[in-house]
Amino acid sequence: MEIKTAKNTPYPVEVVKGQTYYWCSCGLSNNQPFCDGSHQRTDLVPEEFVASESKTVYFCGCKQSANGPLCDGTHKSL
């Protein structure tokens, strides 16, 4: 299964300290950048992200980040 690029820019999200988020790693979710269970037809699984502080973080939209679930700028070279 090839990973689907959801979009070629990151998703800015206000996260809350201590809250757990599940980032979609397959690109199929209709609830980007978060998992909606669409991965169940793939070999991929969502990646857990626990916010260490309340702030804006940038979740990867291209699904190619080496720093997944967070954007590392990889989308700029796709």
Q: What pLDDT, on a 0 to 100 scale, did the predictor assign at position 72?
A: 97
The span from the CA of 1 to the CA of 9, in Å, is 22
pTM (2 d.p.): 0.93
Which residues touch 20 (CB under 8 Å, ≥6 apart)?
A: 48, 49, 50, 51
Q: What pLDDT, on a 0 to 100 scale, did the predictor assign at position 68?
A: 87
Inter-residue contact 53 to 17 (CB < 8 Å): yes
34: nearest Cα among 9, 63, 54 = 63
CA 16-14-22 angle, 5° bins: 70
The span from the CA of 18 to the CA of 77, in Å, is 33
The per-residue pLDDT for range 10-67, each reduced to its tens digit, is 999 999 999 999 999 999 999 999 999 999 989 999 999 999 999 999 999 999 999 9
